[in-house]
Chains A and B, each alone.
Chain A
Amino acid sequence: MDAYPKAYLYARIVKAKLFIDMHFAEPIDVEAISGEACYSKFHFIREFRTIYGRTPREHLSHCRTERAKELLAEGAQALDACLAVGFNSLSSFSRSFKQATGSTPASFRKAALQRQAQGRTQPLAFVPDCFSGAHGWKAE
């Protein structure tokens, strides 16, 4: 029986959301997802947006951007990140990425790698005094 009101609805929407989370790099058709969730496309989008605050398509774009950020921070070139998250065009990827983050993939990558380099050479810069002091971690 339902553990709480509309448990069946949540199970379907969450399943669809997890499907996007796992398959965002593949060509995903929202209608196919709503079919998985046993909803009409309109009903599915409305319920999804009510729960997550974004439409399935916006969530798909969000997943792609977040993964691209991770790849760029690991040192991947923009084109590699673009292809890895399911974009076919570097220009559309760059446009989408900048719209979501405010940075171009290249500038995001550069900043992330600089931050990591600083983390290796000046780790203390990232730790509040109260924690570093408590652990006897002093600037050299």
Chain B
Amino acid sequence: MSIRLTHTCIYVLDQESALDFYVNKVGFKLHTDVKKGDFRWLTVTSPEQPELEISLMAVKESHAMDKATADTLAMLVRNGTFGFGSFQSRDVFAAYEEMHAKGVEFKAPPKKEFYGVSCNFKDDSGNWFSLSELHQAK
């Protein structure tokens, strides 16, 4: 059996703003941008991991969720409830320095931990991610 992750999803409050954030501040690349009606399938990829598409999924009333669910989910995202993953960088200090210069919000500068170096940043919607560098990353 062979299984690997090809697509994952981040709930975002505004797809255009999220696209700008992940492309211009995090350094990802636009992969797919297709529309049907008011549904927009928008994905980005890390240049280091082009096989994994990250869908920037709009939180809004749709076939998938009613208005109450969408409103609740939007509130949870906005309030920073979710941490959708952990990113790894070749050099966290450099990534922090660049992203911080571009206005990305971090909880604190990178800190050395027993497993490597790590920090946490928030995207433009409110989702938190850890950004780490394992000892063997370089």
Contacts and interface: CB of A to CB of B under 8 A. Distances in A.
Interface of A: 3-7, 10-11, 13-14, 17-18, 50-53, 66, 119-120, 123-124, 126-128, 131-132, 134-137
A14 B34 contact: no
B98 A131 contact: no
Contacts of B135: none
B75 interface: no
A69 B91 CA distance: 26
B90 A52 contact: yes
Contact of B98 (A17, A50, A53): A17
B69 interface: no
28 contacts: A5-B93, A6-B93, A7-B97, A10-B94, A11-B97, A14-B97, A14-B98, A14-B101, A18-B98, A50-B91, A51-B90, A52-B94, A53-B90, A66-B29, A123-B35, A126-B32, A126-B41, A128-B6, A128-B7, A131-B7, A131-B9, A131-B41, A131-B57, A132-B41, A134-B63, A135-B63, A137-B39, A137-B63
Interface residues of B, number: 29
Given A120-B34, A128-B7, A136-B62, 18 more contacts: A4-B93, A6-B93, A10-B97, A14-B94, A51-B91, A51-B94, A52-B90, A119-B33, A119-B34, A123-B35, A126-B34, A131-B9, A131-B57, A132-B41, A134-B64, A135-B62, A135-B63, A137-B36
Contacts of B34: 119-120, 123, 126-127
Given A6-B93, A119-B34, A137-B39, A50 B109 contact: no
A6 B117 CA distance: 14
A interface, over-half SS: helix
A123 B98 contact: no
Given A4-B110, A131-B9, A131-B55, A52 B39 contact: no
B67 interface: no
Nearest to A118: B34
Contacts of B33: 119
